[in-house]
Amino acid sequence: MALVLAVVFGVIFSSSYILTEKKLTKLAKEIRDENIICRLNILKNKKYKTLSEFEKQLENRLSKPDLKSFQGLIIKAAYHNPALSWIEWMGIVFLRALKMIVIPLIFTSIISGIITIGSGQNLGRLGLKTLLYYVSTSVLAILSGLFFVNVFQPGTGADIKGLETMSDFSIQQKNLKDILIEIVPDNIFKSLVNNDLLSVIFLSLLVGIFITQLDKKNNGMLSGLFSSLFELFMKITMFIIRLAPLGIFGLVAKVIADQDNIGNLVHNLGSFIFCVTSALFIHALLTLPLLTYLFGRNNPLRHLNNMTSALLTAFSTASSAATLPLTMNNVKEKSGVSEKIANFTLPIGATVNMDGTAIYITAVVMFIAQITGMEMGVKEQLIILLTALLASIGTAAIPMASLVIITIILNIFGLPFEMIAIILPVDRILDMFRTTVNVWSDSCGAVIIAKSEGEQLKV
């Protein structure tokens, strides 16, 4: 509903560009070059319906170096859409709220996840096997995501107007060495305050691991504290996500209003959906069944059949956490995995192991980088692999959780987080697909690990 309204609003109140007397006076103060203002005076009070038209006029009036230095500023000043300013704030507030919750959510989600693995007799052989499965399947998933976005280049050639002017967008690409070094924070508080995703994940892993090494009294106290905090932040996140329709309305209306050519946007989004779903299908129907067959010596089709009700629930709720009771039931009752293995691998899998989410995060970053024309070579794609792997571990098992994380992942690559508005219209439907893959991977993991422990299964 919000989407449809946003499209209608954006089409009716499309943005235009006009340099009024007042705007010119303001520009004169910022540019401080009479010659340029004189040339811009010719455009005074003329209204241009699209950004391309306005840009063409600027190209005719200004020299290349002037254009390069001041084009962004002039476009921003000339931007005219009074109707949009009434609703734009909803999108901005929604994005701010997502950014607000992401660090506390990741921090507590990872710590409470590790505490579950590390508690009691769980750590050791079983814990290591489980971690190995989670990491390797996520890496395979990310590789299939990278394959599709590289081959089909969904964002290349996109002419997404307007978004660049939302923030003062300048690409500040970091190199691999710096990113790796900066994973270790030099100041814990600075990392938390600056939303440094990778450092926060690193810190959470450390805190989680060392809580499990504490004596019983302190361990118990901190475990209880972090699991309560996790629950608290999950609740707040779900509250924010309930406001998503308003946020989506504000953000998508702006994207549509600023488009010169909506067909172009639809085409790029279509190709993005194709890449994400293809990678999800390959991972779910080829990679995971193959692993289940080879390492679990099981019949993956029969296991798939056993998991139907859990997978359908995952698809309709878009939440691995909400699906967990059904996942446990299907894996234990139908596929015959023991209580011990299912109770250990599935709850932690639901929060930590997210292959579908890893594919999605990878595809979004590559898509937005392609749109902005940022080169993503082998090194950068390695950084994406690492980031998507860690970020999928930190993603909460609730609807739209990856969106929360993507807002700050874009920062790592120097991409403006407002760009997330482009994928908002298709996020929910892709969430249903990726959550299904998340749950399917957890269940295959339980089967493979149970078999490796010598259990007799029903598949």
* Gap between the Cα atoms of 440 and 413, Å rounded: 30
Smallest gap, in angstroms, from Cβ of residue 432 to ligand ASP? 8
Task: Report, in Å, the least distance between residue 142 CB and ligand ASP.
Answer: 13
Phi, psi of 215 (to 5 degrees): -70, 165
- To the nearest whole angstrom, how small is the minimum distance from the Cβ of residue 355 to ligand ASP? 10
Give the number of C-alpha atoms closer than 13 A to the C-alpha of residue 275, restricted to the C-beta side: 29
Q: Which is nearer to ligand ASP, 381 or 436 (CB)?
A: 436
Could you tell me the smallest distance in angstroms from the CB atom of residue 210 to ligand ASP? Answer: 27
Task: Select 293 or 315, whichever has its Cβ closest to ligand ASP.
Answer: 315
DSSP secondary structure, 24-67, as one string: HHHHHHHH--HHHHHHHHTTBT-EESSHHHHHHHHHHHS-HHHH
Least distance in Å: CB of 380 to ligand ASP?
22
Closest to ligand ASP by CB, 252 or 358: 358
Residue type at 363 in one-letter notation: A
CB nearer to ligand ASP: give 283 or 434.
434
With respect to ligand ASP, which residue has the nearer C-beta, 116 or 402?
402
Beta bridge partners of 19: 44
79 - beta bridge partners?
A: 17
**What does the alpha-carbon distance between residue 283 and residue 357 come to, in Å, rounded to a whole number?**
12
Rounded Cα distance between 128 and 133, Å, is: 9
Question: Cβ 317 to ligand ASP, closest distance in Å?
Answer: 8
DSSP letter string over 111-176?
A: HHHHHHHHSTT-TTHHHHHHHHHHHHHHHHHHHHHHHHHHHH-TTTT----SGGGTTT----PPPH
First and final CA of the chain: distance in angstroms?
A: 43
**Residue 252 vs 439, nearer CB to ligand ASP:** 439
Q: How far apart are CA 20 and CA 235, in angstroms?
A: 47
Residue (195 or 395) nearer to ligand ASP, CB: 395
Cα separations (Å) of 343 from 117, 129, 138, 219, 292? 11, 15, 21, 21, 19
Nearest distance from residue 407's CB to ligand ASP, in Å? 12
**Residue count (the chain):** 459
Q: How far is the CB of 318 from ligand ASP (least distance, A)?
A: 5
Contact positions vs ligand ASP (CB under 6 A) = 318-320, 354, 357, 395, 397-402, 431, 434-435, 438
Q: Which is nearer to ligand ASP, 319 or 443 (CB)?
A: 319
